[in-house]
Amino acid sequence: MANTYFSFKQFTIWQDQAAMKVTTDACLFGAWVSEHIRLHATQGRGLTTPTRVADVGAGTGLLSLMIHQKNPTLTIEALEIDPLAAEQARQNIASANADTQINIHTTDATNFSPAMPYDSIISNPPFYQDDLKAAGRRRSLAFHEETLTLPQLLNFIKSNLSSSGYFYLLLPFRREKEIERLLYAMQLHLSEKVYVKTSPQQSPHRLLLAGRRVQTETTLLDQPMEGREICITDQNGQYSSACKALLKEYYLAL
């Protein structure tokens, strides 16, 4: 059984009411996104400084709090369809004194219309499509595409991302070709892809994806993409240097 809470350096995630628990993959994704948003804000990349973020499928509020820790001036709107998870996220955010910057909406993202576009949209969406359903209705909603399919998520991104904004996704490696086809069809361009491996000897199991909107098909084809991989552990079974660099500001043990 998963622990009822997970303590980080600057906040604690209570998770007994949420179907989706804290995982190393989610923490790695949150740290990776947080650093991207920080660099976007400090270096500009020739774009507007980000001020508004959407966390689609917020769960316990983990990703929102990780982003807030490194980017405390951002306004974050976290969308969560499960009322129990949404309430627990509110409690986690309030306990971290972040409730002035992070607002939880108990809503279906497919029916949500924000007042303004977002500069960043992040999501660790339901992973599974045709797999054996998880035990229990709430776990099925958290893990399976019953309420938010990839096309629906990408449509939300295309409709609500600012022209200079970035989106960030965490997906299973086996859905790589599928997501690439969908992004191309919706004129959303991948600017970075990270293959996540548990250890150097193993095959990738997750994808960290960053991308932007594009205006024309020519732009879509001309834009370069950066690709690399991250191993969670090294040859000795310890956290790798790349993993430590991302998680050291968050994990108590690092």
10 Å Cβ neighbour count for 221? Answer: 10
Enumerate residues 6+ apart whose C-beta is below 8 A from 208: 28, 29, 32, 168, 169, 170, 192, 193, 194, 196, 230
Largest CA distance in the chain: 50
Cβ atoms of residues 53 and 76 within 8 Å: yes
Look at residue 162 in the predicted model and tell me its pLDDT: 93
* Nearest Cα to Cα of residue 14 among 96, 134, 107: 96
Look at residue 41 in the predicted model and tell me its pLDDT: 72
Q: Is 73 exposed, middle or buried (0-12, 13-18, 19+ CB in 10 A)?
A: exposed
**Measured between alpha carbons, how far is 64 from 100 in angstroms, rounded to an integer?**
13
Q: Which of 140-149, 156-165, 180-189, 209-218 has the lowest mean pLDDT?
A: 140-149
Within 13 A of 226's CA, how many CA atoms are on the CB side?
Answer: 5
Instruction: Give the model confidence (pLDDT) of 53-101 as tens digits.
Output: 999 999 999 999 999 999 999 999 999 999 999 999 999 999 999 999 9
**Measured between alpha carbons, how far is 178 from 125 in angstroms, rounded to an integer?**
14
H-type alpha helices, the chain: 24-43, 62-70, 83-95, 137-143, 150-160, 176-185, 217-222, 241-247
The residue among 127 and 107 whose pLDDT is bigger is 107
Report which residue type is found at 18: A
Q: Report all structural domains of the chain as residue ranges with CATH numbers, in order of start.
A: 5-247 (3.40.50.150)
Look at residue 20 in the predicted model and tell me its pLDDT: 84
Cβ atoms of residues 172 and 207 within 8 Å: yes
Cβ atoms of residues 31 and 251 within 8 Å: no
Phi-psi region of 11 (alpha: psi -120 to 50; beta: other; left: phi over 0): beta
Enumerate residues 6+ apart whose C-beta is below 8 A from 173: 195, 196, 203, 204, 205, 206, 207
pTM: 0.89
Look at residue 127 in the predicted model and tell me its pLDDT: 65
Banded pLDDT at 143 (limits 50, 70, 90): very low
Banded pLDDT at 43 (limits 50, 70, 90): low
Q: Is 225 helix (H, G, I), strand (E, B) or coil?
A: coil
